[in-house]
Every structure is written in structure tokens, then in C-alpha cells.
Structure 1
Amino acid sequence: MLRISVLFALFLMTQLVHAQTPKKPLRVGIAGMAHDHVHGILNKAFGKSGQTDIEIVGMAEPNRELAEKLAKRHGFSMSLVYPTVAEMLDKTKPEAVTDFGPIVDHKKTVAICAPRGIHVMVEKPLATTFADAKQMEALAKKHTIQLLTNYETTWYGSNHKAYALANTDKSIGDVRKIVVHDGHQGPKEIGVSKEFLDWLTDPVTNGAGALFDFGCYGANLSTWLMHNQRPLSVLAVTQQIKPDIYPKVDDEGTIILTYPKTQTIIQGSWNWPFGRKDMEVYGQTGYVFTVDGTKMRIRLKDDKSEQPAEATQADAPAADPFAYFAHLLHGETKPDELTSLENNMIVMEILDAARQSAKTGKVVKLN
């Protein structure tokens, strides 16, 4: 009996030690640094937050001047910077890569990382064409890697609370209409970097202008709220309200998606008077509006007027995309539908159809 008690005590001590041993930070490489969203991961990795989710082991950026500017701002060593993604992967052996280059380069990043078994998170949208997205999907499935798309609105507690009210609690009845507003005054107007502006306003490197830059948010959220149901049809209208500033791409884009019993209106714009990322979800018996990441307005069946509500960060799957990426790959959290490849393949089908619709002036029906 004594021997059994001692062994049991040793077992409990071993389990306690393992439980208290923190996970090692996820070894992350950065592919491209010409997207201004790169500041988010650099602030997290090299700032004073004391985070332990990720460790930046290498960065790939051919523009040495850009890399040096970012190194000076964020305080990292230029010894971490390599001229190509392939060299960075070979020298630093990351577990995962985050892509902050032009959208058109996402396919190249996946083509290099997937055969090495390296997981990839790209900034929204997934690709510039549905054809590229299908090739990326095939690579991810063949090599069994996670291929995620990061949207700022995924980390809004308000969106997840709205989803719960609409789909989990069924508080507003069957969803009938979704309206999503995203955008700002324009990338040049808000002062994005030259490196970012150069590719963001090019139809080849970005896919389109505001139509892709901000239309993707609504396509992502609508697909989520509709349980990854593909729409029956896509109609889009684009404008160049400021052709003197954005001569190559649209700066105004509206997309209408039809489902069997629901309609979604997506308004992506570089012409809003203020930056906005908000959503309206109407059901048969009520509605829920998200104002920002936390503030909401709700009116249910028996309410005489709408009521203010607040969401918290805890309503979202994680505090930020990089913590989520680390927790997901360490098996500490479940996949989130908003970042999932399944959702974002539908998003790319919608964006591709929207671009075609805007060009031809016709409704595109999805078979």
C-alpha cells in the first residue's frame, strides 16, 4: 500500500509540474512588411506588453529601407531580416508565418510554406482572385496546414454577441437582412505609408480598391451569420468618386447578396466622413446593431424602444489574432469560423463575382 501511495503521489506531482509548465511561445516568421497592419504584430512582439504567445524568429522583406525604418521604430535587430521568404524559413525554422505583403503575394507565401508544414495566417482578404484562392486551399489541404485569414472585426466582442443573439439564442427570429458598413475617408487621406498605398491602390496587387479592401469584411460576416451558406446571386456597383487620387481602382463599392430568405447589403467605402466598422442584423421579430467593438443597440420583440448593450473582449475568441494563432496551434482553443478557410473561400467567390458584376453591370448567379 505504501508503494502504491508513493507512486500515486509522484504521479500527482508530475501532473502538477506539467500543468504549471507554460507553453513555449509560437515561433513565428513574417512574410512581407509592406502592409501597415504589420505594426500590430511588431508592437506585440517587441513592445512592453510582456506577452509570451509568440516569438518573432525571422522576417522576409526585400525592401531593406522599409525594414530598417520598421526596425528603428519597433526596436528589433536587422539580423532577423532576410531578403526572401525561402531564406527566412530555411534559416529560422518557424512553426507559423504571418503574411503582411501585398494580397497578390499570399499565394506565393502558401506555396513556399505549405510543403514545409508551416501554418499561415494572411491579412484580409485571402487572395486577389478565386482561382488563386482555390490553389491555396488545395495546398493547405494537401499538406494539412492551417490557412487563416485575419480580419480586425473577428476580435470584436460585439460581433460575437450579435451572432449569439441571432443564431444561438434566436432572440430576433430568423435573419432577414444584414447590412454591413466598413471603411474610412480613404487610405491616402488617413495617412497610410507609401509602401502600403502603392499596392493597395493597384488592381493587380490588391484585387480592386474599396470593393476588396472593405467589401471583404461584409462578405466574411454575412457568410458567418448564414452558416457558410453560399449566396444565390451577387450584384455590385462601384464608383471612382476621387479618380484624381485613386485613378486605377474604385473608391466606392456596394455589394448585394441574395439568399433564399435573406438579403445582405455590404457597403465598403473610402469616402466615409469617419472610419467605421459596424453591422445591422434584422430578424423577423427584432434587430441587433453593432456600433464598434463593444457598443451595441438591440431591440427585441416586446421592447418599446431599442436598448443599449455592451460586449466585452471575452465575447471574442481571443484578444488579438496572434494570441489566437498560438492558442489554436497549441491545441488550446477551437477554430473560429470567421478566420477559417471554409468561410474565406466563399468570401473570395463573392468578391470575384462582385468584381465581375461591377464590370458588366449584371447580376452574377452562383451555381
Structure 2
Amino acid sequence: MKSIFLAIMFMAFVHESIAQAPLRLAIAGLSHGHVDWIFNRKDKNDVHLVGIYETNPELIERYARRYDIDNAIFFTDLSEMLDALKPDAVCAFGAISEHVEVVRACAPRKIHVMVEKPLATTFADAKEITQLATQHHIHVLTNFETSWYESNQAIKSMLEGGRLGAVRKVMVNDGHQGPKEIGVSNEFLEILTDPQKNGAGALVDFGCYGANLMTWLMDGARPISVTAVVHQNKPETYRDVDDEATIVLQYPDAQCVIQASWNWPFSRKDMEVYGTDGYAIAVDATTLRYRFRENNMEETRKLDTRAAPFNDPFSVLAAVVDGSLVLPKSDLYGLSVNMTTVEILEAAMQSATQRKTIYLTD
């Protein structure tokens, strides 16, 4: 009996050690402004940064100096880094158009990937990413800041619980004063204002949030049609891309209006959901306003932040890779929702260019 007990204790110890092993993570690119997140989570030990791929020597020097990073973990060849380090996962922080290249390199090596929003600049790239992920059995997640918002989760719960009735109208407002106005790095600005690297301007940069959230709220359903209007309010600053975009998604019984802008007076990421029995408004990550049809007064509730691991995208990635977290098929991070997100964005770009409504076909 004693030997059996010791064997059980040993197996439990081994299991716990494996479960707690940090994710061996590599970074592909330093030009995306959100990359700093990975260097500012020193209070967490679920991820261990093992390598960084970057070809720009100025960026390498800047980040090595800013975060006291050992030069030995920098690589200028992605394949060389992957073969030398064999990371568990890679996070892509380059241009959106480069996401498919990262997945092409990682998928055959069985390395999981997380990209910054959106998944791709074209629907063809999104489909290739999905095919590669399926073929090689890897996870490909897309990180949106709004996935961290407890207010959005509360609205989803209200819908699923029947408190709001059937969805009829959704308004999603995202953006800020403009990337140059808020002082993003020159490298990030160059991506955001390049229609090949980013797909479009504000339409993609902030329109992707609404497309992602609405697809999630609709349990993965695709809209019937997409209509978009774009404009350059500041052509002297953003000469090659739009800085103002409005996208209308039409469903059989619901409509979503996405207002993506580099012209807001301040940063905002809020969502309004109107149903047959009430409405709910996610004012920010933890503030929820709502009113049900039987009530005369609107109520406001302050929420806690999302519980771990959902309060940190790298923690989500680590949990998904080690199997302790299984995301629903229609999750905000998942390929299914983000495939449709890219399909919507591509249709919106076509609509704006052709100045007509684009109807999605099966």
C-alpha cells in the first residue's frame, strides 16, 4: 500500500509540474505597438520569452536597451529561430499582412500562434491560415482588447439568458484621435497607413472590433450584406488610407452599425446592444448600463475585471496550449469568428471602393 501511495503522489507531482511549466514563447516582429505588453507582465510566470525575430536593427537595439534584453535571443531569420528554439507558441507583432507568413512557418513545426487583431488583411489569407491550422493541428488565436472586457461578457450573458430578447440593433464605436496624433512609433505608423500591410486605415484598425463582436453576439452567423462608407478627414496626414469609416452589417432580423474612426476626441471602445426586451451598453471594460422593458429607470453596474486567465491574452494562450482551457467554437479569440470578421472587413473595403452594398453568398 505504501508503494502505491508513493506512486500516486509521484504521478500527482509530475502532473502538477507539467501543468505549471511556463509556455515557451517567441515573438515574431517588434513593429506593432502592442508588443510592449509581453515585456510588461513581470508579475506573471506562466510565459517564458525565449526568442525574438526582427529584421530592423534599430528596433532590436531599442527594445534590447529599453527592456534590458539579452542580444542572444534576437534572430533575423524566422525559420532559424523556430528550428533553434522550438518554442511552444509564437506571437506575431508585425504587419497584419505578415500573419499568414508566420503561420506558414509555424504550422508545419506544430507551433501554436497568436496574432494581433485582425486575423488577416484578406479573406484568402484567413482561409489559408485556417487550413494550415486544421492540417497541422495547431491553435491560432486572434487577440482583441475587447475580449478582455467583462462588460461585453455581461451583455452576452444577458442575451443568452433572454433578458434583452432578440437582438435588433447593435452600435459599436471604436477608435481614437488618430495614430499619429496619439504618438505611435514610426514603425507602427508605417504599418497602419500602408493599405497593403494593414488592409485599410481606420476601417481595419478599428472596424475589426465591431465585426468580431457582432459575429460573436450572433453566434457565428454571417451578415446578409455589408455596406461601408469611408473618408479622409485628414488627407494631409493619412493620404493613402481612410481615417473615418462607417460599416453597416445587415442580418435577417438585426442590424449592426460599426463606427471606426481616427477622429474621435478621445479613445473609446464601447458597444450598445438593443433587443426586443431591453438594451445594454458596455461603456468601458467594467461599466455596464442597461434597461429592461418592464423597468422605467436605466441602471448602471460597475463590474470586476475578467477573471484569470481572460484578463491577459498571453495567459489565455498559455492555458489553451497546455489544455487547461478549451475555448468555445464561437469564442472571440477563435478561428471561426475571426474568419467571418475578415470576410466582413474585406466586403467593407469592396463596398467603400465600389460605392455599393456587398451581398455575402454561401
**TM-score normalised per structure 1:** 0.95
Is residue 2:288 matched to residue 1:284?
no
The residue identity in structure 1 corresponding to 2:32 is H
Aligned 1:144-159 pairs, distance under 5 A? 144-159=137-152
Cα RMSD for the two superposed structures = 1.4
In structure 2, which of residues 130, 155, 162 is the aligned counterpart of residue 170 of structure 1? Answer: 162
Cα distance in 2, alignment partners of residues 300 and 72 from structure 1: 54
Cα deviation for residue 263 of structure 1 reads: 0.5
Aligned 1:285-300 pairs, distance under 5 A? 285-300=277-292
Counterpart in the other structure of 1:67:
60
8 Å CA contact 1:179–1:281 kept in 2: the answer is: yes
Which moved further from structure 2: 10-19 or 277-286? Answer: 10-19
**Aligned with 1:314: secondary structure?**
coil
Counterpart in the other structure of 1:352:
346
Question: CA offsets, 1:98-127, max 9 Å, x none?
Answer: 000001111111111111111111101111
Question: CA offsets, 1:11-40, max 9 Å, x none?
Answer: 553355346535210011100110010000
May I ask how many residue pairs the two structures share in their alignment?
Answer: 358
**Aligned with 2:306: secondary structure?**
helix
The residue identity in structure 2 corresponding to 1:35 is H
In structure 2, which of residues 315, 320, 325 is the aligned counterpart of residue 328 of structure 1? Answer: 320
- Unpaired runs of 5+ residues, structure 1, are none
Counterpart in the other structure of 1:229:
221
**Identity among equivalent pairs (%):** 50
Aligned 1:65-144 pairs, distance under 5 A? 65-144=58-137
8 Å CA contact 1:156–1:316 kept in 2: the answer is: no
Cα distance in 2, alignment partners of residues 327 and 118 from structure 1: 15
Is residue 2:268 matched to residue 1:268?
no
**Aligned with 2:138: secondary structure?**
coil
Runs of 4+ in 1 over 4 A off after TM superposition: none
Cα deviation for residue 326 of structure 1 reads: 0.2
Counterpart in the other structure of 1:200:
192
Cα distance in 2, alignment partners of residues 348 and 313 from structure 1: 28
Is residue 2:335 matched to residue 1:338?
no
Question: CA offsets, 1:31-89, max 9 Å, x none?
Answer: 01100100001212xx3x1x111111111000011111011111211111100211111
- Unpaired runs of 5+ residues, structure 2, are none
Cα distance in 1, alignment partners of residues 284 and 199 from structure 2: 27
Is residue 2:248 matched to residue 1:251?
no
Cα deviation for residue 310 of structure 1 reads: 2.1
CA distance change for structure 1 residues 348 and 204 in 2, over 3 Å: closer, same or farther?
same
Cα deviation for residue 7 of structure 1 reads: 4.5
The residue identity in structure 1 corresponding to 2:50 is V
8 Å CA contact 2:149–2:306 kept in 1: the answer is: no
**Aligned with 1:192: secondary structure?**
coil
